[in-house]
Amino acid sequence: MVGLLPRLRRFAYGLSGSLDEADDLVQSTFERALSHIDQWQIGTRLDSWMYRILHSIRINRLKSENLRTKKRDDSDPDEQIGGDSAREIEAKLTLEAVRLFIWKLPEEQRAILLLIVVEGVSYKEASDLLGVPIGTVTSRLARARLAIKDFVEMKGTQ
């Protein structure tokens, strides 16, 4: 189970846009997984199950956070684009630009994108895991992917 930690952290980071938040999500995910381990069906994939737990914790937090404020956690200095010198911005990775773009996508598109593209989950698994119909998965995924493609190409021609 601990072997899943890096991938869970990556998923959490992709969802939340902050490494601190990611660590927190992972911690909660492990706590919940261990206390509900009886609910995991042997023979099913442990990683999918844990992605699901993590995602639902994330969604619940978003809901309660939305009740309070719409503030977004940009506290990780590594991820801020502002405040850098022009030279540094120029040297910034395309990867960073891609991350920032993905964090601006709607949460539902982002979750699907991360699961399928980054975590390598199949369409079917993603549909089960997120509890959305496969048609929704494919259309949201396509929307996100086309948007990113256009963004990357636009950056490339600048």
Partner 1 sequence: MIRDKVGIQPGGVMSGIDDITLVAYVDGELDPATCAEVETLLADSEELREKVRGLRESTALVRAAFNHALYGGAMPEFDTGRAGIVPFRETVAESGAGRGDRAISPGATGKPRRWVWRRWPSALPLAASLAALVIGATLGHYFTERSIDSELRNAGFILSSQDQLAIQTALTQGLEKELSGTRVTWANPDTGHGGEIVPIRTFQAENGQYCREFLDVRRITGSTQDHGGIACRSADGVWKVRVRYLPENGGV
Q: List interacting residues with partner 1 (CB under 8 A).
A: 2, 5-7, 9-10, 12-14, 19, 22-23, 26-27, 30-31, 34, 77-78, 84, 88, 90-91, 93-96, 98-99, 102, 113-114, 116-118, 122-124, 134-135, 138-139, 141-143, 145-146, 148-149, 151-153, 156
* CA dist., res. 25 & res. 53, Å (int): 10
Residue 44 in 3-state DSSP?
strand
Nearer to partner 1, 49 or 66 (CB): 49
Residue with tokens 């911690």, as numbered in its chain: 27
Least Å from the CB of residue 72 to partner 1 = 17
For partner 1, the closer of residues 66 and 142 by Cβ is: 142
In the bound complex, what is the minimum distance in angstroms from residue 124's beta carbon to partner 1? Answer: 7
Are the CB atoms for 40 and 46 separated by under 8 Å?
yes
Q: Which of 21, 28, 25, 30 is nearest to 2 (CA)?
A: 30
Classify residue 88 by burial, with Cβ atoms within 10 Å: 0-12, 13-18, 19+. Answer: exposed
Contact predicate 118/7, CB 8 Å: no
Nearer CB in complex with partner 1: 69/85: 85
Least distance between partner 1 and beta carbon 107 (Å): 16
Residue 52 or 127 having the CB closest to partner 1: 127
